Amino acid sequence: MVPVRTERFRLLAPDSPLGNVSLVLASESPRRRALLQSLGLQFTVQPAEVDERKDLPEDPEGRARTLAIRKARVIAERLRECIVLAADTIVVRSGRIYGKPGDREEAIVMLSDLTGGEHQVITAVCAAHGARERYETRIVSTAVRMNEVGAEEIRRYVDTGEPFGKAGAYAIQGLGGLLVTRIEGDYSNVVGLPLSATLDLLEEMIPREASAGGESRPAATSAATEGETKP
C-alpha cells in the first residue's frame, strides 16, 4: 500500500450554497468528473479545447495555471452566468516538465525517466465566472516516489494503454499505482483534481447573496447523464 498524507479532510456541508449554483466542469477527463461527483456536487460537462503548447511560461506552476485559466475562459465566456471549473496537471522532475505522452515511445521515455526517483505532480485549478469577469486559481503539489522498474516491465505497462491521456504516463489509481512506493501530499491531486483545494475555491466563488439563499440554480443536467470521452 502507498503511504498517503492528505492535506486536509473536507466534505460538502448538507446546506452548502454550492447546491444553488450552476456549475460546469470544463474537462472531458473521466477522472476529474468522478472526483468532482464524489463531493456530491451536481454539474454539467463542457470540455474546453485549447492549445496546450503555445505561449506558455517556462516555470511549471505558471504553465499549469495558464492552461487552467485558458480552459476555464473558453467556457466562461460562453456560459457567463455559470461557475466554470477547469484544471491542468503536469509532472515535474529535476526541472523537466512531463505532460501527456503523444505515442508509445514517448510514454516509455517518460516512465524510464520517472521510475527510481521522486517527482512532483502539480495541478492548477481555476474557477471562473464570465459575467463577473472573475478568475481564481489554486496550485497544489504532491511528491511521488517510484520504484526502480525494468525496461520490459515499462513496455508491458505502456502496452496496456493506461498511460495515454495521463500526465507523466501513469495512472496512480490504476495499474500505475504499482509503480509508486510513496506519496507526500494530496492523493486526489495525483489522480487529477485536488478535492480540498477545489472545494475551497468553489465556495469562495459564491456571491454573498447566494450564500444567504438569494440565488437559485438553473436547471442543469447531472454530469452522470453526459457523454464521456477519454482525454
Residue 53 counted as domain residue: yes
How do residues 64-104 score in pLDDT, each as one tens digit? Answer: 999 999 999 999 999 999 999 999 999 999 999 999 999 99
pLDDT tens digits, residue range 102-143?
999 999 999 999 999 999 999 999 999 999 999 999 999 999
The confidence score (pLDDT) of residue 62 equals: 95
Closest CA relative to residue 115, chosen from 202, 70, 51, 179: 179
Whether 103 sits among the annotated catalytic residues: the reply is no
Is the residue at 192 inside a domain?
yes
Give domain status of residue 184, yes or no.
Answer: yes
Task: Say yes or no to pLDDT of 28 above 70.
Answer: yes
Q: What is the pLDDT of residues 183-214, one digit of tens each?
A: 999 999 999 999 999 999 999 998 654 544 44
Terminal CA-to-CA distance of the chain, rounded, Å?
27
Q: Mind listing the pLDDT tens digit for each residue in 150-184?
A: 999 999 999 999 999 999 999 999 999 999 999 99
Q: Is the pLDDT of residue 220 over 90?
A: no
Report pLDDT for 20: 78
Q: Considering the domain boundaries, does residue 158 fall inside one?
A: yes
Task: Give the list of residues 6+ apart from residue 217 with CB closer than 8 angstroms, or none.
Answer: 19, 20, 21, 22, 42
Question: Which residues constitute the domain of residue 23?
Answer: 19-219
C-alpha cell at 124: 492548477
Please tell me the total count of domains within the chain.
Answer: 1
Q: Which of 15, 51, 88, 159 is catalytic?
A: 88
Is the residue at 140 inside a domain? yes
Is residue 146 within 8 Å of 112, Cβ to Cβ? no
pLDDT of residue 7: 54
Q: Is residue 47 part of a domain?
A: yes
CATH of residue 193 = 3.90.950.10
Q: Is residue 146 part of a domain?
A: yes
Average pLDDT, the chain: 86
Residue 105 corresponds to which amino acid? E
Asked, for residue 228, whether it belongs to a domain, the answer is no
pTM as predicted: 0.82
Q: Could you write out the DSSP letters of every residue in 199-228?
A: HHHHHHHS-HHHHTT--PPPP---GGGS--
